[in-house]
Amino acid sequence: MLETFFDGLQLIISVPNIYYLLGGIALGLWLGVVPGLGGVTGMVVLLPFTFGMDPAAALAMLLGMFAVVATSDTITSVMLGIPGTIASQATVIDGHAMAKRGLSQTAFGAAFACSAFGGVLGGLAMAISLPIAIFIILAFGSPEFFLLALLGLIMVGAVSGNAVSKGIAAASLGLLLSQIGYPIAGDSPRYWFGNISLLDGLPLVPIVLGLFGIPEMMDLAARRSAIAHIDDKRAENDSIMHGIRLAIKHKWLVIRCSLLGVYIGMLPGIGSAVVDWLAYGHAVQSADDKSEFGKGDVRGVIAPESANNAVLGGSLIPTVAFGIPGSGAMAVLLGALTIHGFTPGRNMLGENLDVTFSMVWTIIIANIIGAAVLMLWGKQVAKVAFINGNYIVPAVIMFIFMGSWLWSPDMFTWGVLLGVGLLGYMMKVGGWPRPPLILGFVLGPIMEDALSITYQAYTFTEVISRPTVIVLGLIVLGVLFFAIRAARKKNSDFDVEDTEVSRDSLYLSSGMAIGIFVVFAVAIWMAVDWSMLTKVFPITVAIFGIIMVALVVVDDWGRLREFAIARKAGDVTAGGTFAEFVKANQLQVNTFIAMFVMAVLTPWIGTFAAIVGFAAVYMVFWGKFNWKIILIYCAGISLVLFGLYDQILHTPFVPAFFMNS
């Protein structure tokens, strides 16, 4: 076995395989930075190029690319507050807060060190766990998947800061939104309102980019300054090495979250979309001092970055050993294995064991090289935090809109992007945490699927007698107990959304709560006549959501009453004025209107002209740059649209209306 393990290393470092690995790493580092692309897109693009290649070289290129995406996506999460990929959503909370404080290098050092460790541990765990993987995977059925998803949902309390009721209400809304389209256990679509674009449900990537990306760009455009909120070019002690030292200081958190990533990765259907939230929630709940979470606590970067890089090693186990892909990327990899003549199972664990171990070495080497490269570049990348934000906004908006378009090339997608973007900004201003909504949206199908299968395949006695159910149930109860205790003792008093509370922000928050209450009520009314398996989950979620939004309204009105008492006592400025509220948000609203106009004009003037035109208008009226800079910038935008999206990714652009006649 040990000899075969090192035979796998020889396969990877031999020429030309090592060159393909390095090429895959370079592509993966770039894909992780661009919002909306990610590893799945890269694997789909690379797969046709592997035809005719040596199998070891092909797998090295594919896995080398995918392994480092979860490392480089940290750059976008930290610098822009936009998840580079689904796996880096939780990193946004404290990573972007660190960048605003001028600590982006520290965030990078900690993140890249933890990513390398998590990736290496994931690879080694894959090698060690192959003989016992079957027992772990077979021990988990639909009841365990439901409890695991429920555990992730309970972590909402950990990622909601001092707005627990708002966080749980937002998670309930995310769960309800995930119910749109055809149900898992039925043949009649739900909540589709006659729109065929909704039959397959709402698209995930536009929701993530809209909820995080649009509000952050609105704020950056309004500030007309750099990302960092400080005047100095560097905060005290900000360096890559300082981040690495902090990662070493919290080494036990790194190890725990890396192992969490490995073993969650083994479970098909859970994967990197959830594990970063579980790791972040664990970091918060295990911390003695929670006050800095949401404001730039490095532990909020260390935990998710350790976990999401370790997922790949775990997710490869069911793919290689059983032919069960746990994610879209693993499905593509399974296709690559089949194309090159490999059969998952006994074939990969017997006569082709050296190829399997070469995949382990690919993960290890790619994570080490990727982290090392990014550490060398981290200092330069961190300087972006001090660049005039007007140079950043138009380019990032292009990537946000085109990233959504790649997911589903339809104007409806941009409508979802803008609608969720507006909702995200209102949540930010109103003090509603946004991460729980995404968490609920991702977990919804997993929970409903597991619940449906459990209901049909198991009796109640069979469920509660399963040892894994008992263990997971105790963990869920333990996490719930500590979450309730922390909330009652105010130990979770940290802010996920850096929002100044005012009378008008509370009015907005209450108005949103009432609007969401109506959404939940209508959802129940529409579901009453559906079949049992089709309606039970959305109705349960909506009832629970109604209770939560009622608590939000009570809490908001209590705080409004405090402002009213202060005003009666003579403090006429308590809670601020409506004029101040409008002034504080006017530029953000103008930016959103400009994006909306760009989308509306696209069917008339075409995608290319609309995006380049938006960049030009922004540079003129927001940036107030001279014409030479505007021409150079728009030429760069045009080059990216043509070279990347048109020529390489073959994106179907919307033509101008006169080109259709």
pLDDT at 265: 77
Distance CA(238)–CA(98), nearest Å, equals 10
What is the domain range of residue 543? Answer: 501-574
Whether 468 and 539 map to the same domain: the answer is: no
Q: Are 240 and 226 in contact (CB under 8 A)?
A: no
Confirm if 227 and 78 have CB atoms less than 8 A apart: no
DSSP reduced 3-state for 499: coil
Q: Residue ranges of the chain with pLDDT lower than 70?
A: 1-2, 36-40, 84-87, 130-138, 156-162, 185, 225-236, 267-273, 322, 324-328, 345-347, 349, 382, 384-385, 483-499, 658-661
559 and 410: one domain?
Answer: no
pTM, 2 dp: 0.81
Q: Based on the domain organization, do 445 and 418 belong to the same domain?
A: yes
Dist. CA 539–CA 555, nearest whole Å: 25
- In angstroms, rounded to a whole number, what is the distance separating the alpha carbons of residues 643 and 649? 9
Q: For position 611, what pLDDT does the model report?
A: 95
- Tokens 């504080």 correspond to 584
Same domain, yes or no: 505 and 492: no
Q: Cα(191)–Cα(420) distance, rounded to whole angstroms?
A: 17
The pLDDT of residue 245 is: 93
Which amino acid is present at 86? Answer: I
Last residue of a domain, one of 514, 539, 574: 574
Let me know: does 415 contact 148? Beta carbons within 8 Å. Answer: no
Task: From 479, 499, 519, give the residue that closes a domain.
Answer: 499
With 0-12 / 13-18 / 19 or more C-beta atoms within 10 angstroms meaning exposed / middle / buried, residue 294 is buried
Q: Does one domain contain both 463 and 505?
A: no
**In a 3-state reduction of DSSP, which class is residue 352?**
coil
The model's pLDDT over 233-264, given as tens digits with 9 standing for 90+, comes to 455 678 889 999 999 999 999 999 988 888 77
Question: Do 68 and 15 belong to one domain?
Answer: yes
Among the candidates 474, 499, 524, a domain finishes at 499
> What is residue 232's predicted lDDT score, i.e. its pLDDT?
43
When divided into structural domains, the chain yields a total of 3
Contact 257, 126 (CB under 8 A): no
Task: Say which residues have a Cβ less than 8 Å from residue 526's Cβ, sequence separation at least 6.
Answer: 190, 191
Asked if residue 143 and residue 267 are part of one domain, the reply reads yes
Which pLDDT score, from 0 to 100, does residue 488 have? 60
Q: What is the pLDDT of residue 519?
A: 96
User: Treating both helix axes as pointing N-terminal to C-terminal, what angle do 503-527 and 578-605 enclose, rounded to 10 degrees?
Assistant: 50
Q: Are residues 326 and 438 in the same domain?
A: yes
Domain check: are 398 and 511 in the same one?
no
76-79's contacts with Cβ under 8 Å and 24+ in sequence apart are 76/32, 76/33, 76/34, 76/35, 78/104, 78/107, 78/108, 78/111, 78/301, 79/104, 79/227, 79/381, 79/382, 79/384, 79/385
Question: Do 384 and 430 have their domain in common?
Answer: yes
The values of phi and psi at residue 199, to 5°, are -65, -35
Co-location of 540 and 466 in the same domain: no
521 and 607 housed in the same domain? no
Dist. CA 16–CA 426, nearest whole Å: 53
Q: Which residue has the tokens 């880096």?
A: 88
